[in-house]
Amino acid sequence: MSWLLGLVFTHHSFLVLIAAAKRMSTAARRMEEANAQVSSDDRVDGDWFARLNDLAGLRP
C-alpha cells in the first residue's frame, strides 16, 4: 500500500511540475511580446515591468 501512496505523490509532483512549466512558458511568451512593444528609444512602461516580474515569479 505504501508504494501506492508514493505513486500518488509522484504523480502529484509531476502535475505540479507540468503546471509550473506552463506558467513559465506563458510568462516567457508575454515577456517576448512586451519586448517587441518597446519603443525605439528603449523606454519601457509599467506593463513591461509587470511582465518581467511575472517571468521572475514575483507575481502570483
Q: What is the 3-state secondary structure (H, E, C) of 12-53?
A: HHHHHHHHHHHHHHHHHHHHHHHHHCCCCCCCCCHHHHHHHH
- Mean per-residue pLDDT for 13-36? 91
Rounded average pLDDT over 15-35: 91
**CA 59 → CA 14, 24, 25, 55, distances in Å?**
22, 12, 15, 8
> Is the model's pLDDT at 22 over the cut of 80?
yes
CA distance 34 to 49: 9
Residue 5 has pLDDT above 70, yes or no: no
- pTM of the shown model: 0.68
pLDDT in the model for residue 4: 65
Q: In whole numbers, what is the pLDDT of the chain averaged over residues?
A: 85
The answer, yes or no, to whether residue 13 has pLDDT greater than 70, is yes
